[in-house]
Structure 1
Amino acid sequence: MSDGGTTQWLDDDEMRFWRSFITTATLLESRLNQNLSESHGVTHSDYTILVVLSEAPGRQLRMSVLAELIASSKSRLSHQIARMEKAGLVARQVCDSDGRGVLAALLPAGMELLERAAPTHVTAVRELVISQVTKTEQSSFADALERIQRALSGDDAVAAAS
């Protein structure tokens, strides 16, 4: 496989960082998902939707905005919301302001589930992540991840300036 010599291959330290990052992200998502599923019958993805909706004005958001906030495709989110609707956690509603938009709204059962699951989730996050790094490392890591997030969001000019 030749690219004409234009690829800047990762050196050993960069490869160590990259592989550690990917493996850790995968393991963390799996552990959080397992923890919430076993304890509360909800996936980590569902939990994230409940959190975002609980923090939104009126506990509802346009589906397109929700998809962006949770870094999901609109199609994937639509399937997930349909599943959560069947469970009585959320409901889709027509947007009153334009009639074309669709809102995802948190239902009381969804809020109750969130309130039960939140302590489990926060305990796991504290044990698996927060307690593993110092306050200074948390700040540095957050700065780096925010730059990566901006780059992934298409805001490369802001990411490059950071």
Structure 2
Amino acid sequence: MEYMTTASTGEPHWLSDEEQSVWRAYLHATTLMEDHLDRQLQRDAGMPHIYYGLLVQLSQAPRRRMRMTELAKDAKITRSRLSHAVARLEKSGWVRREECPSDKRGQNAVLTDDGFEMLRRSAPGHVDAVRQAMFDRLTPEQVRSLGEIMQVVATGLQPEGTDADLPWLR
């Protein structure tokens, strides 16, 4: 596929009416989805969606611990935002930090037993909210197509190399 760029034509390659409509629908849906999930998790677990995602990642890691830099990378957030989130999760008793034994400069985030229990209690309501908001509305073919489309978009937005401007490198 060849895409027109401002460099090749000297003019912006504006979105067509259909592309503009799809773009706006995507923005509208993702904003509503994030708000829906945030409200559900705040109501049922007292935490925002991003914190829930961090607890999930830690629960799936070996020994329920991850290096902070890897956790930021997997969560697609800046190290500063992760540090703030982990501090809030520590205050709730759901996560603790520990020194990284292989690198004295690094730290691990560790999911505590209380954090694991919070995750266990809040997961059913969260999965119900996700299912109701998205998957119950789509056909199996639409689910497959959406997955393929999002994979293409995500792959294109994750450049390789150390000079890439990605959140977890900031």
Q: Which residue is equivalent to 2:143?
A: 138
Residue deviations 1:20-59 (CA, integer Å, cap 9, x gap)? 1111111100010001101121211111000000001111
Q: 1:1-162 maps to which residues of 2 (within 5 A)? A: 5-155=10-160
1:34 corresponds to which letter in structure 2? R
How far apart are the structure 2 equivalents of 1:53 and 1:111? 9
2:102 corresponds to which letter in structure 1? S
1:118 corresponds to which letter in structure 2? A
Name structure 1 gaps, 5 residues minimum: 156-162
CA RMSD of aligned residues (A): 1.3
Number of aligned pairs?
153
3-state DSSP class of the match of 1:99? strand
Query: What TM-score comes out, normalization by structure 1 length?
Result: 0.91
Name structure 2 gaps, 5 residues minimum: 1-5, 161-170
1:7 corresponds to which letter in structure 2? P
Asked which structure has the greater RCO (Cα within 8 Å, sep 6+), the reply is 2
1:46 corresponds to which letter in structure 2? Y
How far apart are the structure 2 equivalents of 1:153 and 1:93? 29
How far does residue 100 in structure 1 lie from its aligned partner after superposition?
1.6
2:44 corresponds to which letter in structure 1? S
How far does residue 147 in structure 1 lie from its aligned partner after superposition?
1.1
3-state DSSP class of the match of 1:13? helix
1:44 corresponds to which letter in structure 2? H
Percent identity between the two aligned chains: 39
How far apart are the structure 2 equivalents of 1:76 and 1:42? 15
How far apart are the structure 1 equivalents of 2:144 and 2:67? 32
Residue deviations 1:103-139 (CA, integer Å, cap 9, x gap)? 1110011000000100000001110000111111111
How far apart are the structure 1 equivalents of 2:45 and 2:106? 31
2:63 corresponds to which letter in structure 1? G
3-state DSSP class of the match of 1:117? helix
